[in-house]
């Protein structure tokens, strides 16, 4: 909209704009315990947004670099899942001195997968939405970096696409820890029973996804990449910052 960035609105701060005046209020005083959604940094936020003084793009690169330190792979090329995983894949490739390339590309002419009703339609949309570039992956050992593995269905389809395009190995890496619990704060991810890491151990998810190897970023790695405290990490197994009813209905089918 052509607006100029002044600064971030702080946790617990209320900014009121009225009659051409801008006023900052802190209705809760100093009794604020920040718990910013870590999944914003991992997946939701725009890469050009600034959170905590750093672009989301740079944070995602840092997530990829941490992942490379914790989970290197013997490979020829690093591929990210467009679009949200590209910065993490670049960070991963840089840290290991491997080439990054666009082994998966987005089809701009089909709709977004999350607006499709039902899991089967969403899965089909994922396959239609992305295509593998065979000149990048054929005959190569590929590291596929995704920002997260939530249901695991996307990973399975993408690994299949890469193999069909001639990849000889596909090593799957997640630039965030296992997503094991539902969000109760408004992010419509999935019910617990649909979360791959809530139901299976890493080896089972690897087998089901068809990857040659699978590794996730650790919670420590996530914290190092985020670089500061004050996060909600509940879906990665941290405490829910505000108590929730475990049986709350949070998912609208
Ligand atoms: S539980 Fe929800 S608010 Fe908390 S990090 Fe996960 S997605 Fe974000």
Decide if pLDDT at 41 tops 90.
Answer: yes
Query: What pLDDT, in 10s, does the model give residues 76-111?
Result: 999 999 989 999 999 999 999 999 999 999 987 776
Decide: 176 and 63 in contact? Cβ < 8 Å. yes
Report the C-alpha gap between 108 and 82 in whole angstroms. 11
- Model confidence, pTM: 0.88
Decide: 90 and 64 in contact? Cβ < 8 Å. yes
| Whether residue 235 has its Cβ less than 6 Å from ligand 1 | yes
Q: Which residues make Cβ contacts (< 8 Å) with residue 238, sequence separation at least 6?
A: 219, 231, 232
| Whether residue 234 has its Cβ less than 6 Å from ligand 1 | yes
The pLDDT > 70 percentage for the chain reads 89
Report the C-alpha gap between 76 and 176 in whole angstroms. 23
Mean pLDDT for 187-204 is 85
Average pLDDT, the chain: 89
What integer pLDDT is reported at residue 233 of this predicted model?
Answer: 96
Mean pLDDT for 32-49 is 92
Identify the helix (H) or strand (E) that includes residue 57: helix 56-70
| Whether residue 185 has its Cβ less than 6 Å from ligand 1 | yes
Q: Which of 35, 232, 239, 242 to mutate to test the pocket of ligand 1 (most atoms within 8 A of CB)?
A: 232
């Amino acid at each position: 909209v052509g607006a100029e960035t002044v600064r971030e609105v702080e946790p617990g701060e209320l900014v009121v704009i009225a009659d051409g005046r801008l006023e900052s209020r802190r209705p809760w005083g100093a009794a604020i315990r920040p718990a910013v959604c870590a999944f914003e940094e991992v997946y939701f936020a725009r890469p050009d947004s600034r959170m905590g003084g750093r672009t989301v793009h740079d944070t995602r690169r840092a997530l990829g670099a941490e992942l490379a330190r914790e989970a290197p792979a013997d490979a020829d090329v690093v591929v990210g899942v467009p679009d949200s995983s590209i910065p993490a894949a670049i960070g991963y490739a840089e840290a290991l001195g491997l080439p990054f390339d666009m082994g998966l590309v987005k089809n701009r002419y089909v709709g977004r997968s999350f607006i499709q009703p039902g899991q089967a339609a969403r899965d089909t949309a994922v396959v239609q939405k992305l295509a593998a570039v065979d000149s990048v992956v054929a005959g190569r050992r590929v590291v596929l970096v995704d920002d997260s593995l939530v249901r695991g269905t996307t990973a399975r389809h993408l690994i299949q696409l890469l193999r069909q395009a001639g990849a000889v190995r596909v090593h799957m890496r997640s630039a965030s820890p296992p997503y094991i619990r539902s969000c109760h704060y408004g992010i419509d991810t999935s019910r617990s029973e649909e979360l791959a890491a809530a139901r299976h151990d890493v080896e089972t998810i690897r087998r089901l996804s068809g990857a040659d190897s699978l590794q996730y970023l650790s919670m420590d790695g996530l914290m190092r990449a985020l670089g500061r405290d004050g996060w909600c990490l509940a879906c990665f197994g941290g405490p829910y910052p505000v108590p929730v009813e475990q049986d709350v209905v949070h998912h609208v089918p």
